[in-house]
């Protein structure tokens, strides 16, 4: 879902990350507020004042989204759902769950926390706007606070649309789940609502384009495309998790994989191993024990002239939780770790020994076979 990310800070035990796509939306919001929204509502100020209001308004929205997602994360932690972090991206923010909620109640409580937080923020900023206006602190201050009260109210209302994966869609899924007792079936119905809502937004975007509202039309269309795609992918991902959660890594791993000595040169690695097997990642061993991993991608930043001088140990990734897994863990856990780390192959390590290697294509093949066999 995300591209390059920057870790901003840690809040209440959660890492808050910024996807670089957020920079675009922050600039767009600041520009829209400074050149359109605030000048229209509060005429008569200088351009620098409007730009200050725009930047502060965008920063306030940033903080509001962080608090919205933080509320999801805190409730998720209460129900034992691991959250790998909070990420802000072009379409808002997301609390990244490492697994689905265990019960319909946990799903409902986690989902409703975000809109309630936004409603609380809307009320808080509204009271502050009234207070600052009465205190005579100036129109720019009360204007920004009024905007933040309004935008948080809009965020709360929009997120309560019963279209998965919006918060309202998760509330809808929780209700269906509790009534039907089947999470997958509930997800299918909630995701269908999400796809329909996405198509409606795309239609709204097209209508806006034809009526001359270029930016608004493009924006509604992009949000619609994102929701349609996210809701369609949600059911695929959930079905894959259900197929994999009962299968262990030991079942699909390749035993006795091709290994690379830690002390050979990169030239030897390329000539004797990469071209010899066409694998993209290799376990690195030292004195017969796993020491790390190295892949084709690790060579892309090096000069060919240095391949005779550099050794595998200079570029390898040491053993860590990101490139290793135990044979008794589930293939669903392996797939989740691959998504998190970007590694398409993981070293299977047990008691300090290399038991095998598990590849993304093997897990995908397992999913295809289980679907075919019902």
Roughly how many angstroms between the first and final C-alpha of the chain, as a whole number? 29
Calpha distance 265→304 (Å, rounded): 12
> Does residue 69 carry a catalytic annotation?
yes
Q: Which of 69, 268, 280, 340 is catalytic?
A: 69
Residue 107, Cβ density class (10 Å: 0-12 exposed, 13-18 middle, ≥19 buried)? buried
Which 3-state string (H, E, C) describes the chain? CCCCEEEEEEECCEEEEEECHHHHHHHHHHHHHHHHHHHHHCCCCCHHHHHHHHHHHHHHHHHHHHHHHHHHHHHHHHCCCCEEEEEEECCEEEEEECCCCCCHHHHHHHHHHHHHHHHHHHHHHHHHHHHHHHHCCCHHHHHHHHHHHHHHHHHHHHHCCCCCCCHHHHHHHHHHHHHHCCHHHHHHHHHHHHHHHHHHHHHHHHHHHHCCCHHHHHHHHHHHHHHHHHHHHHHHHHHHHHHHCCCEHHHHCECCCCCEECCCEHHHHHHHHHHHHCCCEEEEEECCEEEEEEEHHHHCCCCHHHCCCCEHHHHCEECCCCCEECCCCEHHHHHHHHHHHCCCEEEEEECCEEEEEEEHHHHHHHHHHHHHCC
Calpha distance 103→97 (Å, rounded): 14
Residue 114, both tokens: 């975000």
Calpha distance 2→4 (Å, rounded): 7
Count of C-beta atoms within a 10 Å radius of residue 87: 21
The answer to whether 265 and 254 have CB atoms below 8 angstroms apart is: no
Task: Determine how β-strand 317-318 pairs with β-strand 281-286.
Answer: unpaired
Query: Catalytic residue positions?
Result: 69
């Amino acid at each position: 879902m995300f591209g390059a990310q920057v870790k901003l800070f840690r809040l209440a035990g959660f890492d808050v990350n910024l996807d670089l796509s957020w920079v675009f939306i922050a600039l767009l919001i600041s520009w829209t507020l400074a050149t359109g929204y605030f000048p229209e509502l509060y005429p008569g100020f200088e351009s620098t004042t409007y730009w200050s209001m725009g930047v502060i308004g965008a920063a306030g929205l940033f903080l509001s989204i962080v608090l919205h997602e933080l509320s999801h994360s805190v409730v998720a932690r209460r129900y034992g759902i691991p959250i790998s972090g909070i990420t802000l991206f072009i379409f808002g923010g997301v609390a990244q769950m490492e697994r689905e909620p265990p019960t319909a109640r946990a799903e409902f409580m986690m989902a409703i926390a975000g809109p309630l937080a936004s409603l609380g923020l809307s009320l808080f900023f509204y009271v502050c706007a009234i207070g600052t206006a009465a205190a005579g602190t100036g129109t720019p201050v009360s204007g920004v606070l009024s905007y933040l009260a309004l935008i948080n109210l809009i965020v709360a209302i929009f997120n309560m649309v019963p279209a998965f994966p919006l918060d309202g869609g998760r509330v809808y899924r929780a209700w269906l789940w509790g009534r039907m007792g089947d999470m997958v079936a509930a997800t299918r119905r909630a995701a269908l609502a999400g796809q329909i809502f996405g198509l409606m937004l795309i239609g709204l975007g097209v209508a806006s384009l034809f009526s001359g509202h270029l930016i608004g039309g493009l924006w509604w269309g992009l949000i619609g495309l994102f929701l349609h795609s996210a809701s369609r992918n949600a059911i695929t991902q959930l079905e894959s998790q259900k197929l994999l959660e009962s299968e262990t890594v030991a079942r699909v791993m390749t035993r006795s994989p091709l290994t690379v000595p830690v002390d050979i040169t990169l030239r030897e690695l390329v000539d004797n191993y990469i071209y010899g097997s066409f694998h993209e990642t290799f376990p690195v061993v030292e004195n017969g024990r796993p020491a790390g991993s190295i892949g084709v991608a690790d060579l892309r930043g090096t000069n060919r002239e240095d391949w005779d001088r550099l050794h595998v140990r200079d570029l390898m990734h040491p053993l860590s939780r990101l490139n290793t897994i135990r044979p008794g863990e589930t293939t669903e856990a392996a797939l989740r770790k691959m998504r998190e780390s970007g590694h398409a192959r993981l070293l299977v390590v047990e008691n300090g020994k290399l038991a095998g290697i598990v590849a993304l294509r093997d897990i995908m093949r397992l999913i295809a076979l289980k679907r075919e066999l019902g």
